[in-house]
Every structure is written in structure tokens, then in C-alpha cells.
Structure 1
Amino acid sequence: MGLDVCVIDLDPQEGNLTSLFDVGEHRSDPEADNLVKHILEMPDGEFADLIETSDEGVDVIPSHDMLGDFTSNLEQKIAYETGMKNMSKEEFPRYELLYDLLWNEQQLNEEYDAVLIDPNARAEDLLYNSIYAMRTLVAPVKPAGKGNLSLEGLDELVGNMEARLDIEVGLSCVVPSGVGQTNAHQQYSKQFKNTDEFATPVAIPDRESLMDTMWEARGSAYKVIEERWKTFEEDGEMVSEPGQRRIRDRELKTASDIYELAAFIATETFGAEIDSELTLDIADYGERSFEVGDDTETEVTAQ
């Protein structure tokens, strides 16, 4: 797509972006410098040293175990500073700290074309700091039966965030994911596709094999497809290796859908100029190209 991207992982749980991209070697080291220390204005190093680059060229600020204690550490900071400055706790800008760090102090918007945050979904200080900093949301929704997030519920959720943070929160798009072939799943997906209230550029089908293999390959769906990673049983054990996966049209379509989602966010939400063609260089298969918004696949034989 031709954009410089930084991803900030604010999810302290296992199975996060830090694990997926195989970064964050020191995430469990309490002495290591990490993003929480910088947010709370007690860094142990340079901010730039927090940024790691994945094998696929994505810059990542990794998760750290301190994220799990963010609120308790924040409360200590608030108690100390309000006492020193003779101010009330309500006056302390508890949700503005990440905004100040990213944009005012580090000016990441000058260095990157796109900055993404993947927060934990729990309604706590880290989530509100993320929303205050970004102001624009991409809402993944899953058809999971009873308790599905409705259109009305999504609108109410955004409204509540705006009221709590006293800002305008934009919703770039809604992304149904894990959509199966059952009538219930298809109906749920159509609920979002057939509304003008929120944009739904793509729906991501249930691709369990592809998504599971991403964790074994330690990378994106594009890495799995291009390097042809596959998980299989060998001599009674499960192993994962590149060069083994068959190329499936449905998985190529999903890769194209993910690219189309990114293109929508870049162009429709932020007005950026991008390379509209996705080209996959697949091991032993050559190149396959897709144009955003065009269901026609162009195959180019590797030279």
C-alpha cells in the first residue's frame, strides 16, 4: 500500500499483536522500559527505542505486563500530582496522557502515515486513553448468537464514549468477522451491510485454518499465504512449516478483502493516497495481483 505504519499494542493478554508479530522480547521484564512508563512520565529510556520492526516491516510498540496494572499505577500518579498541585482528582486529565505522549511530545504523525492502536476492549483507563488519542474507531463485530452487538447498541456505545471523554468520536467502519455460512451468520452480516448508518466495506469470512496458522507463522495472513505456511501432523506431533500450504481461491479472496478494508480506511476516512493494487509474491506460484474494488484477479508468472 506504500504507507509507513506504526502499531501500538495496548492489550496485556496473551494472544495479542505482540505475540503475533513475534516482538516484545522483554514484555515480562519489570525492569525493562515500556510504553506505560512513558505514558506515566517515568521513562527508563528513549521513546524511539520502544519501537520494534517485525519481519514483515511493520513497526510495533509491543505490549508489556505493566499494562495490566495501568490503572493502579495511574491512581498513584494522580494522588501524588493532585496533592502537589492542590487540585482535585476530577481535574486531573487522566484520559489525555496517551494523546499528549503520541502527538504533542513524540509527534508520531510526522513520522508515520498511519498509527494504529489495538487496545484491550475492557472499559478501563487504557481504552479511554486510546479512544481519546485516536478519535477514530474501527469496530469489529462477530456473529456470536445471543447478545450480538446491534446497530442501535453500536450507536449508543459511540455516544457514551463521546459523553465520557467530551470529544467527537468518529466510526470509520464496522467489520463483521468470523462470518460462517449459517443463516444466522449471514443475516447478522447483512444487518450491517444493508444500513447507511455505518460503513461496512467488507465482511471477513470464517477462515479458521488461515487465522490459526498466522500464530504458528508469527505473522499476518499475507505471510501465511506468500510463504505457504501449513500446520499438520507429523510423527504424532503437530508441526508448522512454510512451503506446504495449497493456494486456495477463498483465502486469496480474504487477503484481498483485508487489503480492501485497509484501503477504505486510508482513502475514505483519512483521504490518503495509496497503491490500490495488492500483489502477493507466493512461493513457487509467482505473483498474483488484485485491484481494490475489482473482483478480477490478475495472475503474473514469476520471472
Structure 2
Amino acid sequence: MLTYTLYSEAGGVGKSTLAGNLAVAHRRHGLDVLLIDLDPQDASVSALFGVDDERGEDIDSLAKHMVSEDYADGPVRDLIRTAEGVDIIPSHNTLEQLPEWLIRAKIRDGDFEPAEQLRDVLGRNDVHQDYDVILIDPPATSGQHVYNAVFATRRLVVPLELSGKGDRSIEGLDDIVAGLEDQLDINVGAEAVVPIGLSNLSAHRRYLDEIQASRYDVPVVIRDRESLFGGCWDQECSAFKFVEEHRSPQRDHEMETVEKLDDLAARLEAVA
């Protein structure tokens, strides 16, 4: 089984867009895929696929299951929505309260481990048996959402912005991985670094050279495709569906990007 978390310490780098497109790419390879959205923001990967419409407090949510099954309203599988063949556990407003809920549960029960609850939920419900790939999209801010995602998957895929911010990210990636390992007492593998937004700017080329010279695997580089990815969000679909159903005629440079997303998914499947 392949499990991984999409994580970047910087927001706005295309993390959720990458997560959604990789999920669809895995499904197009014939794999059963579960995408878990742990990002409480409205513009999360759930919004990309139009499955973020049930966010009321009276609706069951993954956050409730992670605190206690006693708080949940039904089986965790009842949370699942499906888009483009991918099963999705959508974002929910209660995810904003999740860190506080987990801390309170720890106070009530000293044996309760806040960072292990997502893995426990998936295990108790035998969710792993149903899927070949599970990928998780948490928020960029470090904390219990990220800790639970990484503890459950043990692998990272790291999208990086090609800018000064992205440069600092690659320099600090060793520290990020080491910090997660220390915090969670597990081994964490950074399976791929994915530079996003490449243009012809000399600064972008310089940062890309530094990233490719690092010890991390850089299987693909995604060029600046604002029109393509903006269209995905407008149409609430993956890039694969967008170029097939909403581009006529298809554009060669966008097809090249779709092929790179497909190649990246295949590279990740090879490490499972």
C-alpha cells in the first residue's frame, strides 16, 4: 500500500491542487484511492472536487471520530464522497477545533496520544483494506493536523514554490523531517520534492538548480500553469478531466503538465 502526506510549510504553493491531481492519477492507473482532507480552510482539496458543501456542526466529521467514536454519528465510511473515481473524506468546520479537542482528550486520559488518532481511526475501521493508495492533505501550519497525517502515512511529498521562500524551504527540509521524527518518534521519508511554478526568470532557474542538487528526489518540475490549474478550480475537477472535457483544442503545454502529474504518480507507486 502507498500512503503519503502532501506537506509544505509555506501556504499557497499548490499543495491541494497537487494532492487532488495525484489522487486522480493513481485512480486512472487502476488503483483504489482514498484522499483525506485535513485542511479546515474553505479553499481545500474538497473544494477542488466540489464535495465541501456539508460543513455544518450537526454533520458527522472525521474530527469527531478522531476524538472519540462516541462523538461520531455513524461509521467513518459514511463520511466518504466520491469524485472522478476517488473516494474523499472531505474537510469540515470541526477540523478547526480538532487540536483543542485532542488536547482536552489527553487531559482526560493520560494514555490518549493526540498525534496517533487518525491512524487509529483508519485501523479500527479497517479502512486500509479497501485502498491501494491513501494520501492526506493537511494545512501548511504545523500542528496536530500535520502530526496526525504524517503519523498515519510516514511519507511526505513536498511541493515547493520556486522563490526565495521555496529556497528557504529546501534548506530547512532536513530540519522539518527531523523535527517530525522527533515529535512523533517515527521514521519519516521525504519521497519527492516537486518544484511548482517554474518560469523563465533567472531566479527560478537558480533555485531549481539548488533543489535538484539536494539529496532529495525531484522527479518532475511543474511549470507556471495558472490558466490550467485555475480552470480546474473553476470547473471543480482535476487537470486530467479539465483538458479532456473543457479544452478544445487541447494545448500542448497543458498536456505536458498532465503527463508530468501522471509520471509523478507512477514514480510514487513504485516505492509502495
TM-score by length of 2: 0.85
Aligned pair count? 242
Do the aligned partners of 1:141 and 1:174 also contact (CA within 8 Å) in 2?
Answer: yes
What's the CA shift for 1:150? 4.7
What's the CA shift for 1:258? 0.4
CA distance in 1 between partners of 2:187 and 2:256 (Å)? 35
Which structure 2 residues correspond to residues 1-303 of structure 1 after superposition, within 5 A?
Answer: 1-27=29-55, 29-41=56-68, 42-54=71-83, 56-82=84-110, 92-102=112-122, 104-145=123-164, 148-195=167-214, 197-229=215-247, 245-267=248-270, 269-270=271-272
Do the aligned partners of 1:141 and 1:149 also contact (CA within 8 Å) in 2?
Answer: no
Q: For residue 161 of structure 2, what is the amino acid of its counterpart?
A: K
Which consecutive residues of structure 1, in runs of 5 or more, have no partner in the other structure?
83-90, 230-244, 271-303
CA distance in 2 between partners of 1:49 and 1:208 (Å)? 35
Q: Which has the larger share of strand? A: 1
CA RMSD of aligned residues (A): 1.4
Q: Which has the larger share of helix? A: 2
Aligned structure 1 segments of 4 or more residues deviating by more than 6 angstroms: none
What's the CA shift for 1:108? 2.1
Identity of aligned residues (%): 40
Which consecutive residues of structure 2, in runs of 5 or more, have no partner in the other structure?
1-28
Q: For residue 67 of structure 2, what is the amino acid of its counterpart?
A: L
CA distance in 1 between partners of 2:46 and 2:241 (Å)? 16
Q: For residue 93 of structure 2, what is the amino acid of its counterpart?
A: D
CA distance in 1 between partners of 2:94 and 2:252 (Å)? 42
CA distance in 2 between partners of 1:67 and 1:175 (Å)? 27
What's the CA shift for 1:76? 2.2
Secondary structure in structure 1 of the residue aligned to 2:109 = helix
| Higher Cα Rg, which structure | 1
CA distance in 2 between partners of 1:146 and 1:25 (Å)? 33
CA distance in 1 between partners of 2:169 and 2:38 (Å)? 26
Specify whether residues 12 and 150 from structure 1 end up closer, same or farther in structure 2 by C-alpha distance, changes over 3 A only: closer
Do the aligned partners of 2:65 and 2:76 also contact (CA within 8 Å) in 1?
Answer: yes
